[in-house]
């Protein structure tokens, strides 16, 4: 559905949904609207939800009993942190990395403040040479008071695939690890139960290409009894007859909403798989290779070294760009605005709180190609006066 002439190099912020998926969503909505009472209360909704859940569980390697839909990763992170407030005591700590996505870091700050705990940010360098620097930085921030680690599987502004499995192996079960895997499923080979973290939340509407408004939360079996959605609804006292038990009942109904985005996940998985001759493993390989090639084009144009090793790159990558002469009060960085307005290129530019100060991020999905990064590099060079 992307409009003609606009170069969309920002799948990482808002994925482009395939038309086949949007058509499937329209068919789902038509069925729902034909007889809403029968659809929601007659078992049809629950059957379709369970079948979509099965598709997600098969794709991400989690069991269905521990897997629930949420509208997005932000909701998943909020649900877990709210549920953890009762175990946090004054002086306890929630550790995050300083590459953590702002919205989720805010959620950690609010949950901490409600319980007298505090958020500690581990200083992860950028540029960096190896994933071990991440492990060292996070472990250095963990103390005997650390109850929770909130860590991104793939960071947003810096675009790094984080060594989450290593951290989980060193910290669980004493520290509960909440993995914000917003970008991971569909971008990299990613198995939630193999990770071993207490909680994993992710988006389906990014790299899995479902309709927007679909994510999931998977909870490890020993943590399932005390997780609630941030919205309390019928399931709290058993008033939602979900066959899947207590956890499903908390999340399968949170008030009337349009569940069609969740239900498009099977169609999305099938549609994207069919776009590559090797299916999903081929998708992962191709988009990563494209992202690395795109990053190379930009690095050459900017005459700088890679800010992170290739093995920390999935399908998004950030490169430093020189600091801007602007007040910092604009919502959009002037380079990002110029790329959009003068060159019709969508690529985010983030302010970074330490040198190199500004990061330009590219994304790669199957609808992108290498010449597009060349066009971006030329536009960036023009805007930076090179
Ligand atoms: C690491 C990370 N976490 C959470 C999110 C939030 O995703 P959503 O807006 O779908 O909740 C993003 C979005 O890009 C992200 O990069």
What is the pLDDT at residue 329?
63
DSSP 135-159: HHHHHHH--TTEEEEEEESB-SSS-
Q: What is the pTM of this model?
A: 0.97
Q: Which residues contact 312 (CB under 8 A, 6 or more apart)?
A: 128, 131, 160, 161, 162
Counting ligand 1 atoms within 8 A of each CB, the residue from 103, 105, 215, 217 with the most, and so the one to mutate, is: 103
Beta-carbon contacts of residue 162 (< 8 Å; ≥ 6 apart):
97, 99, 131, 134, 151, 152, 153, 154, 155, 312
Find out whether 140 and 122 touch, Cβ atoms under 8 Å. yes
DSSP E strand boundaries for the chain = 7-8, 67-70, 93-97, 118-122, 146-152, 176-180, 199-203, 215-219, 316-321, 345-346, 349-351, 358-363
> Which is the closest atom of ligand 1 to the Cα of 12?
14
**What is the pLDDT, as a whole number, of residue 1?**
94
Residue 296 neighbours by CB under 8 Å, 6+ apart: none
Residue 237 DSSP symbol: G
350 lines ligand 1 (CB under 6 A): no
3-state secondary structure of 34: helix
Q: Is 183 in the pocket of ligand 1 (CB under 6 A)?
A: yes
| CATH 3.90.1150.10 fits domain 7-18+275-383 | yes
Q: How far is the CA of 154 from the centre of ligand 1 (A)?
A: 10
pLDDT at 18: 98
What per-residue confidence (pLDDT) applies to 41? 95
Neighbours of 144 (CB within 10 A): 7
Task: For the domain covering 19-270, report its CATH number.
Answer: 3.40.640.10
Q: Is 10 in the pocket of ligand 1 (CB under 6 A)?
A: no
Ligand 1, atom 7: closest residue by C-alpha: 73
Closest ligand 1 atom to 75 CA? 11
Nearest-CA residue for atom 10 of ligand 1: 72
Question: Is ligand 1 within 6 A of the CB of residue 250?
Answer: no
238 CA distance to ligand 1 middle (Å): 31
Query: What is the whole-number distance in angstroms between the Cα of residue 73 and the centre of ligand 1?
Result: 6
User: Could you tell me if residue 185 is left (phi over 0), alpha (psi between -120 and 50 degrees) or otherwise beta?
Assistant: beta
Indicate if ligand 1 lies below 6 Å from the C-beta of 48. no
Pocket test for ligand 1, best of 181, 203, 359 (most atoms within 8 A of CB): 203
Atom number of ligand 1 nearest to Cα 205? 10
Domain with CATH 3.40.640.10 in the chain: 19-270
| CATH code 3.90.1150.10 region(s) in the chain | 7-18+275-383
The per-residue pLDDT for 130 is: 98
pLDDT in tens, the chain (386 residues): 999 999 999 999 999 999 999 999 999 999 999 999 999 999 999 999 999 999 999 999 999 999 999 999 999 999 999 999 999 999 999 999 999 999 999 999 999 999 999 999 999 999 999 999 999 999 999 999 999 999 999 999 999 999 999 999 999 999 999 999 999 999 999 999 999 999 999 999 999 999 999 999 999 999 999 999 999 999 999 998 887 899 999 999 999 999 999 999 999 999 999 999 999 999 999 999 999 999 999 999 999 999 999 999 999 999 999 988 766 666 789 999 999 999 999 999 999 988 888 999 999 999 999 999 999 999 999 999 98
Using the mean position of ligand 1's atoms as its centre, give its distance from the Cα of residue 179 in Å. Answer: 12
């Amino acid at each position: 559905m992307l409009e003609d002439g606009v170069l969309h190099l920002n799948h990482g912020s808002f994925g482009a949904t395939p038309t086949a998926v949007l058509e499937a969503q329209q068919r789902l909505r038509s069925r729902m609207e034909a007889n809403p009472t029968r659809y929601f209360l007659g078992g049809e909704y629950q059957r379709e939800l369970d079948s979509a859940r099965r598709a997600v569980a098969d794709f991400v390697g989690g069991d269905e009993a521990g897997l629930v839909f949420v509208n997005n990763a932000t909701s998943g992170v909020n649900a877990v942190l709210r549920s953890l407030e009762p175990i946090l005591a004054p002086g306890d700590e929630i550790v995050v990395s300083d590459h953590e996505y702002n919205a989720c870091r805010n959620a950690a700050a609010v949950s901490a403040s409600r319980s007298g705990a505090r958020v500690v940010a581990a200083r992860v360098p950028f540029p960096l040479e190896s994933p071990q620097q991440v492990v060292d930085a996070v472990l250095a921030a963990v103390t005997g008071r650390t109850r929770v680690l909130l860590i991104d599987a793939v960071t947003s502004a810096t675009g790094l695939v984080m060594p989450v499995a290593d951290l989980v192996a060193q910290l669980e079960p004493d520290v509960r690890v909440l993995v914000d895997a917003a970008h991971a499923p569909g971008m990299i080979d990613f198995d939630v139960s193999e990770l071993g973290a207490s909680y994993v939340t992710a988006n389906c509407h990014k790299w899995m290409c479902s309709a927007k408004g679909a994510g999931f939360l998977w909870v490890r079996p020993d943590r399932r009894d005390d997780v609630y959605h941030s919205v309390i609804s019928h399931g709290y006292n058993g008033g939602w007859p979900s066959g899947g038990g207590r956890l499903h009942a908390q999340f399968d109904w949170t008030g009337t909403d349009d569940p069609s985005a969740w239900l498009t996940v099977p169609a999305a998985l099938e549609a994207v798989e069919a776009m590559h001759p090797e299916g999903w493993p081929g998708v992962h390989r191709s988009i990563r290779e494209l992202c690395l090639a795109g990053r190379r084009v930009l690095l050459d144009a900017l005459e700088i070294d890679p800010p992170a090793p290739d093995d920390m790159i999935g399908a998004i990558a950030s490169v430093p760009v020189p600091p801007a002469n602007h007040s910092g009060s604009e919502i959009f960085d002037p380079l990002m605005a110029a790329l959009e307005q003068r060159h019709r290129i969508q690529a985010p530019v983030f302010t970074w709180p330490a040198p190199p100060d500004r990061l330009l991020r590219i994304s790669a999905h199957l609808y992108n190609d290498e010449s597009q990064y060349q066009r971006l590099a030329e536009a960036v060079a023009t805007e930076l006066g090179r």
